[in-house]
């Protein structure tokens, strides 16, 4: 059994908006293993970013934890993330767990030089130890940037974020996020706005760091090709729920949930020109999600029970979980 | 070639220079650099433009849509020199011919106005038809994207899902039955399920209504699925152009080669490492081939002179000295 580093225990995390309650994470249960790359995929608006924010303990209004816990396991300690004070949470960040938000290329402070933004991160490391000079700090950072394959570090440190291309900014952020060697790295769509060449460069850099240092990497992408390159396991979400979780190979070769099947089959592949169909119907409104299985209005296999009862998230085989009425505990299935 | 045959699109020595930074100390950036090409076809085409982020794709689209004016060069659409579109009247006629679909559907609508009214006004303004006729045109356009006037009546922008809005903005572009739709990353915001529906809609509109498309994207697999012809841009230049099937099967330009090797494909795991550029902004100003410092085939010559697009005889053109004979080598030198 792989060692677990994090456990999401029966979490409900909702947005309380003026239009109603958005059940962005509803009854979420799963574990993350130490040293794995966990890929997260799913429909836009299904709660992927909300899950990542929750894992970072970043619960800001109108988001609220309605129920459940997120537990972190560090050696023999167990940390209950939602019960931490702001101060302890701050101490955890960058050093133990770090986060690249969605669209992070645009969230860097545009009027602060890269070097200042790095100094802040470095400061967290030196807490308790003796202060170092700016020049020493610069040297440490430059060396790190050089190790990460970034060009002309001293020039880079002097620039402002807006002077860099999207790809270069994303490489700098990745360097920042990994600088203090955190155990867990959260990355929300780290390459979505980039072209494939730059994307490949950044993904390979991420994977290299992760393989060398054995951190745990959790990352969101809507590109199944990216997940194929990166992930050890995949978690598929739909409308605020986890619908499937399993090893990458199993998900790609034997997807169980009808939505996962669709995700994998639908996208065109190079070299094949025959017509591919999209999925019919509209994504659900999380203010009033469908009864029963939330996928049932769009599911080609739906049965009567799917409209009435919510499917449980069950283990079908070794490490492969699904929430769909087509599957029973023993993993027998019936697509009839 | 038949001299009287008018091309759908003909671009001659098109250049767009942006000033960046202050007026005095500011630098210049050539976002579109002396680009010439034409699209000729007996049947309606879908033309994709692919390239690195920042390679000038959106700038090219905005020039073709006449949203910005070129620094130099000419654009002909259906034989019409668009620099001669000057009066309000001309511009309305031009909009009947060419329509945009923008990347972010939220940009296309005014949040304070009801969407149905906005569409009706568009029809009335551009087409100068009676109210009744406008209504039926809008309804037709909405029906071709799987909606109808009834379904959108009385609603504001924020009362639609992202996918609905994306379809409405395509419907809006369809109202005048244009000859050409310029779509800049029209599916980057939507998830897999809606993406394929929109791709299939473009195909149908192309075949059934004879609408031509310029499809700008980062996503090579949808470009392959959709397009007949494609152009690859690099730092403001078109480096390769021709039938998509040929380019995907056997890329000529070293950058195209790199691009295709970087697609994250399911079933093909990445092995080799990749070199990203460290001097992006300088590359725009290179005197020779802008790709030479990353190109595995580059020699001294590539550094000194700029390759021009040469005809390969199979419908393709490529700008690379690898495919150049001595004659065009001499030619490109004497051009300077
Ligand atoms: N600050 C907020 N206030 C209210 N509702 C929100 C807020 N942020 C997100 N939501 C809603 O919560 C749901 C989940 O959003 P989330 O950002 O987690 O989706 P996502 O899966 O990351 O989508 P995407 O792929 O588009 O990034 C959506 O319905 C969204 O509209
Ligand atoms: N209005 C402007 N003023 C100054 N520079 C600009 C302007 N618009 C674009 N640029 C610059 O011109 C270059 C080309 O930009 P453009 O938006 O055309 O690229 P693109 O190929 O569409 O990129 P992406 O794939 O990221 O959308 C970039 O370096 C960009 O920063
Ligand atoms: S539970 Fe029913 S509706 Fe939901 S995915 Fe499975 S078969 Fe389809
Ligand atoms: Mg998100
Ligand atoms: Mg663009």
Out of B162, B273, B276, name the one closest to residue A198 (CB). B276
Out of A44, A268, A277, name the one closest to residue B222 (CB). A268
Out of B51, B164, B194, name the one closest to residue A278 (CB). B194
Chain B CB contacts of A248 under 8 Å are: none
A252: which residues sit within 8 A by CB, 6+ positions away? A228, A264, B266, B267
How many contacts does A have with B, using Cβ atoms within 8 A?
A: 144
Query: What is the mean pLDDT of the segment spanning B136-142?
Result: 92
Nearest CA, atom 1, ligand 2: B18
Chain B CB contacts of A264 under 8 Å are: 266
Chain A CB contacts of B48 under 8 Å are: none
Q: Please give the full DSSP string across B74-129, using - where no structure is assigned.
A: EEEETTEEGGG--SHHHHHHHHHHEEEE-S-HHHHS-TTSBHHHHHHHHHHHHH--
CA distance readout (Å), B85 to A101, B17, B80: 44, 21, 9
Q: Which pLDDT belongs to residue A33?
A: 96
How much distance in Å is there from the Cα of A202 to the middle of ligand 2? 21
Strands (E), chain B: 9-20, 27-39, 46-51, 72-77, 80-81, 98-101, 180-184, 212-216, 229-234, 237-243, 310-311, 317-318
Percentage of residues in chain B having pLDDT higher than 90: 42
pLDDT tens across the length of chain A (336 residues): 789 999 999 999 999 988 789 999 999 999 999 999 999 998 878 899 999 999 999 999 999 999 999 999 988 899 999 999 999 999 899 989 999 988 766 667 878 899 999 898 888 876 656 678 889 889 999 999 988 888 888 888 998 887 777 778 888 999 999 999 999 999 998 887 788 988 998 899 889 889 999 999 999 998 899 999 999 999 999 999 999 999 999 999 999 999 999 888 877 777 777 777 777 777 788 888 999 999 999 999 999 999 999 999 999 988 999 999 999 765 555 554
- DSSP assignment, residue B268? -
Residue with the two structure tokens 């290299």: A208
- Residue B132: is its pLDDT beyond 70? yes
Distance CA A311, CA A182 (A): 36
A171: which residues sit within 8 A by CB, 6+ positions away? A148, A150, A201, A202, A205, B276
Nearest CA, atom 1, ligand 1: A62
Output the six-digit token pair for A255.
């997807």
Q: Is the CB of A299 under 6 A from ligand 3?
A: yes
Chain A touched by B161 (CB under 8 Å) = yes
- Minimum mean pLDDT among A303-307, B140-144, B249-253: which range? B140-144
Distance CA B198, CA B194 (A): 6
Does the distance separating the beta carbons of A278 and B195 come in below 8 Å? yes
Distance CA B22, CA A47 (A): 42
Output the six-digit token pair for B321.
């000295």
Please tell me whether residue B282 adopts helix, strand or coil conformation: helix
Please tell me whether residue B61 adopts helix, strand or coil conformation: helix
- Structural contact between residues B323 and B297, judged by C-beta atoms closer than 8 angstroms: no
How much distance in Å is there from the Cα of B105 to the middle of ligand 5? 15
Q: Which pLDDT belongs to residue A48?
A: 92
Report pLDDT digits (tens) over B51-86. Answer: 887 788 989 999 999 999 999 999 999 889 999 999
Distance CA A31, CA B206 (A): 48
**Which candidate, B243, B179, B203, B242, places its Cα nearest to that of B8?**
B179
Distance CA A271, CA B69 (A): 38
Residue with the two structure tokens 């999207």: A166
Per-residue pLDDT band for B3 (boundaries 50, 70, 90) equals very low
Nearest CA, atom 25, ligand 2: B53
Nearest CA, atom 31, ligand 2: B54
Please tell me whether residue A264 adopts helix, strand or coil conformation: helix
Output the six-digit token pair for A105.
């290329």
Output the six-digit token pair for A101.
């938000």
Residue from A295, A307, A335 to probe ligand 3 pocket by mutation (most atoms less than 8 Å from CB): A295
Distance CA A72, CA A41 (A): 22
Report pLDDT digits (tens) over B175-214. Answer: 999 999 999 988 776 667 677 888 898 999 999 889 999 9
Per-residue pLDDT band for B249 (boundaries 50, 70, 90) equals very high
- Residue B149: is its pLDDT beyond 70? yes
Closest ligand to C-alpha of residue A26 is 1
- Which of B146, B192, B253 would you mutate first to test chain A, the one with the most A CBs within 10 A? B192
- For residue A62, cis peptide bond before it (omega within 30 degrees of 0): yes
- pTM, entire model: 0.86
């Amino acid at each position: 059994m792989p060692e677990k580093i994090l456990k999401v225990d029966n979490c409900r995390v909702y947005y309380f908006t003026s239009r109603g309650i958005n059940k962005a994470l509803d009854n979420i249960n799963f574990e993350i293993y130490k040293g794995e790359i966990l890929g997260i995929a799913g429909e836009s608006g299904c709660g992927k970013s909300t899950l990542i924010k929750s894992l970072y303990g970043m619960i800001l209004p109108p988001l609220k934890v309605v129920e459940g816990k997120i537990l972190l396991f560090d050696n023999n300690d167990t940390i209950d993330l939602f019960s931490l004070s702001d101060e302890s949470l701050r101490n955890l960040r960058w050093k133990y767990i770090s986060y690249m938000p969605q669209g992070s290329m645009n969230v860097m402070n545009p009027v602060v030089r890269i070097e200042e933004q790095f100094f802040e991160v470095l400061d967290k490391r030196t807490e308790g130890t003796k202060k170092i000079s700016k020049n020493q700090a610069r040297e440490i950072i430059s060396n790190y940037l050089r190790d990460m394959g970034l060009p002309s570090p001293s020039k880079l440190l002097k620039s402002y974020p807006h002077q860099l291309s999207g790809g270069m900014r994303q490489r700098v952020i990745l360097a920042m996020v990994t600088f203090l060697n955190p155990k867990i790295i959260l990355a929300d769509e780290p390459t979505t706005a980039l072209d494939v060449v730059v994307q490949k460069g950044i993904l390979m850099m991420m994977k290299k760091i992760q393989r060398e240092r054995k951190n745990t990497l959790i990352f969101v992408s809507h590109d199944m090709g990216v997940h194929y390159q990166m992930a050890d396991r995949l978690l598929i979400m739909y409308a605020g729920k986890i619908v499937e979780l399993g090893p990458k190979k199993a998900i790609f070769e034997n997807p169980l949930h009808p939505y996962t099947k669709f995700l994998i089959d639908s996208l065109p592949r190079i070299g094949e020109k025959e017509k591919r169909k999209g999925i019919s119907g509209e994504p659900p409104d999380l203010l009033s999600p469908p009864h029963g299985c939330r996928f049932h209005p769009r599911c080609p296999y739906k049965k009567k029970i799917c409209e009435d009862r919510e499917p449980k998230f069950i283990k079908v085989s070794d490490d492969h979980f699904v929430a769909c009425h087509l599957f029973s505990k023993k993993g027998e299935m019936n697509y009839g | 070639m038949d001299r009287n045959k008018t091309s759908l699109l003909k671009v001659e020595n098109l250049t767009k220079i942006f000033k960046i930074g202050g007026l005095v100390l500011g630098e210049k950036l050539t976002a579109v650099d002396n680009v010439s090409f034409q699209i000729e076809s007996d049947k309606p085409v879908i033309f994709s433009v692919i390239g690195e982020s920042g390679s000038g794709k959106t700038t090219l689209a905005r020039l073709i849509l006449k949203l910005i004016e070129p620094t130099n060069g000419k654009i002909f659409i259906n034989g019409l020199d668009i620099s001669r579109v000057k009066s309000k009247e001309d511009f309305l006629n031009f909009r009947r011919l060419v329509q945009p679909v923008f990347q972010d559907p939220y940009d296309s609508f005014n949040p304070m106005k009801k969407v149905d009214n906005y569409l009706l006004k568009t029809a009335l303004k551009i087409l100068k038809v009676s109210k009744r006729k406008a209504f039926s045109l809008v309804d037709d356009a909405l029906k071709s994207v799987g909606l109808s006037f009834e379904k959108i009546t009385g609603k504001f922008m924020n009362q639609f899902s992202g996918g609905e809005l994306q379809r409405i903005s395509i419907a809006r572009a369809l109202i005048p039955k244009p000859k050409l739709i310029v779509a800049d990353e029209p599916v980057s915001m939507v998830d897999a399920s809606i993406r394929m529906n929109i791709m299939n809609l473009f195909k149908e509109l192309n075949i059934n209504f004879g609408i031509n498309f310029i499809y700008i994207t980062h996503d090579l697999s949808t470009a392959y699925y959709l397009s007949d012809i494609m152009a690859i841009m690099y730092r403001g230049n078109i480096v390769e152009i021709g039938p998509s099937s040929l380019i995907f099967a056997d890329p000529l330009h070293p950058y195209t080669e790199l691009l295709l090797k970087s697609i994250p494909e399911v079933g093909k795991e990445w092995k080799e490492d990749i070199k990203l550029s460290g001097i992006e902004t300088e590359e725009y100003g290179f005197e020779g081939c802008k790709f030479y410092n990353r190109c595995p085939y580059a020699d001294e010559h590539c550094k000194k002179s700029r390759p021009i697009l040469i005809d390969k005889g199979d419908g393709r053109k490529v700008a690379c000295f690898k495919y150049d004979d001595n004659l065009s080598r001499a030619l490109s030198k004497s051009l300077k």
